Amino acid sequence: MSFTLKDRVALVTGSGRGIGAAIAKRLAAAGATVHLADLAPERTEAVVDAIRRDGGAAHHLTLDVNSEESWTGAIGVVRQRSTHLDTLVNNVGITIAKSIEETTLAEWRLMMAVNLESPFVGIKAALPLMKDSAIRTPFGGSIINICSVSGIVGTPNLACYTATKAGLRYFSKSAALEFARSGYRIRVNTVHPGLIEGASANVLFESSVKSGACKDMAEAEILWTSRFPIGRIGRQQDIGGAVLFLASDESSYMTGAEIIIDGGLSAQ
């Protein structure tokens, strides 16, 4: 299989660290020009420097994913720098691990805003440029929304988080059908990570310690890892590889689909 993204332009949200940075690096290594969007420019600048040192093409964008104005400005910068946009990766997300009783309405609204509302705002903002790009290029467009295995199966103390990811899962399927039937040549697919190394996993470990279920972070990691049949935490590059596939022509007949990378959790 050839996963080349030569001559393509991608925008990845939340790409200053973690999974987003891994995705940006993977797309750049395959030949794409990648615009790294994050609320903290100092994070994206470091990743951009790393990509450029490895011979890739990358730019940083300061983006508030919940602001229509910020999205409009970011897409305008992409248009000016690169003239087209072929791949949009909505990766940014937030995890608050609490019981329903402990979760405040403000926390519920924050997760809904970041995890579910921001992909809607981003797709709306990017669509005119992506539609134009899909018409002018041979490969069409690809939108990839990073969901979670928690959007497929329920998880105690993550009920509000799972609601946002399940919502994004079905929003993505509906968008895929809408764009396909409208003849936009833009595919929409989702990736559903399980327990992946990094900040989100640490939130879950910390919640287990705070609740008294585990005495320390090490014990919490063992507890959470034991739920996954493969017996280990996922790597950030595992997600980057799936996104690369969905951005490439190797997945050109896939839309409204989902790739589950969860170490076997949802197969039980």
Tokens of 44: 């994206």
- Options 161, 170, 184, 253, the catalytic residue: 161
Task: Round to whole Å and give the CA distance between 246 and 46.
Answer: 26
* CA geometry: angle 150, 151, 155, nearest 5 deg: 35
Instruction: Give CA torsion, residues 142, 46, 74, 59, to 10 deg.
Output: -70
Radius of gyration of the chain (CA): 18
Q: 170 an active-site residue?
A: no
> Beta partners for 261?
193
For residue 18, what are the CA distances in angstroms to 15, 41, 43, 183, 245? 7, 15, 10, 34, 19
Our CA angle for 228, 231, 237, nearest 5°, is: 90
Length of the chain: 268
- SS3 for 160-216, per residue? HHHHHHHHHHHHHHHHHHHHHHCCCCEEEEEEEECCECCHHHHHHHHHHHHCCCCCC
Residue type, 189: N
What positions carry a catalytic annotation? 161
